[in-house]
Chains A and B, each alone.
Chain A
Amino acid sequence: EVQLVESGGGMVQPGRSLTLSCAASGFSIDGYAMHWVRQVPGKGLEWVSGINWNSARIAYADSVKGRFTISRDNVKNSLYLQMNSLRIEDTALYYCAKDRRRSSSEITCADYWGPGTQVTVSS
């Protein structure tokens, strides 16, 4: 069974940093692109970042470009999101998600999602 579990969320002051992790089980992330998507409670979904299977292709939303860094460790079967210079508007539930396609250089759409980890940026 495919499972994704995010961790590392919490409350942090504006301008500080936080690193999210996503541990995958039931499948190998090697061969799949992975995504981070966030959602403010009661609001819509916002795609944050994606990384293809071998990290050759990485993309970010304009709202986080230059502040967030996505990375992966296929040996540890894990995905990460380093978040720097956090802003109040980064407050959201952050989901880790597995791409639908295997062994593609592309980043496409996600078919399995974790339960999310809450990030709250507040002074």
Chain B
Amino acid sequence: EIVLTQSPGTLSLSPGERATLSCRTSQRVSGIYLAWYQQKPGQAPRLLISGTFTRATGIPDRFSGSGSGTDFTLAISRLEPEDFATYYCYQYDTSPYTFGQGTKLEIK
């Protein structure tokens, strides 16, 4: 199975700063099959981005995705208080589909 490794495990930033989250895959993943989710405590995950770049409905444009091959990135341009959460990357290129272990974005 394809292993997704996210870094850093925890990212401490202040509102207004830029966040950059990394997802590295153990095998090449087609860019059209990489997604990002946000999860807050006690809530189900929320789809942010699919196909590496495409924001889901209602997702603000401060969220952007990039990458190819084995290296993918989620960027949040100007952190808002509601952005502090855990983020997961997910590949649906090759079954079994897999999630990364998550990056917790916390307020500094």
Residues of A within 8 A of B (CB): 37, 44-47, 50, 59-62, 95, 97, 100, 106-111, 113-116
Asked, given contacts A44-B102, A47-B90, whether A115 binds B96 with beta carbons under 8 Å apart, the answer is no
Q: Pick the residue among A44, A59, A113 that contacts B44 (CB under 8 A).
A: A113
Pairwise interchain contact B50-A59, C-beta atoms closer than 8 A: no
Interfacial chain A residues near B1, Cβ < 8 Å = 62
User: Top 7 nearest A-B pairs by Cβ distance?
Assistant: A113-B44, A59-B95, A109-B35, A45-B99, A47-B97, A61-B96, A111-B47
CA distance A116 to B90 in the complex (A): 19
Contacts of B28-49 to chain A: CB distance below 8 A: 33, 35, 37, 39, 44-47
- Could you list 12 A-B pairs, sorted by A, with CB under 8 Å? A44-B99, A45-B39, A45-B90, A45-B99, A60-B96, A62-B1, A95-B44, A95-B45, A106-B92, A107-B92, A108-B33, A111-B56
A53 to B: closest C-beta gap in Å: 15
B88 at the interface (CB under 8 A from A): yes
CB within 8 Å for A109 and B88 given contacts A45-B37, A60-B96, A62-B1: no
Within 8 A of A (CB), among B64-108: 88, 90, 92, 95-102
* Alpha-carbon distance A52/B92, docked complex (angstroms): 13
Chain B interface category by residue count: 20 to 34
Residues of B near any A CB (own CB < 8 A)? 1, 33, 35, 37, 39, 44-47, 50, 56-57, 88, 90, 92, 95-102
Option from A62, A100, A106, A113 in Cβ contact (under 8 Å) with B45: A113
Q: Give A97 to B97 CA distance when docked, in angstroms.
A: 14
Contact check, A62 vs B96: say whether CB atoms are below 8 A apart: yes
Measured in the bound complex, the distance between the Cα atoms of B92 and A45 in whole Å is 14
Q: Beyond A45-B45, A47-B99, A95-B45: 8 further Cβ-contacts under 8 Å? A: A44-B100, A45-B88, A45-B90, A50-B97, A100-B47, A109-B50, A109-B90, A111-B56
Q: Which residues of B contact A108 (CB under 8 A)?
A: 33, 50, 92
Complexed CA–CA distance, A109 and B1 (Å) = 17
> What's the Cα separation between A95 and B92 when bound, in Å?
17
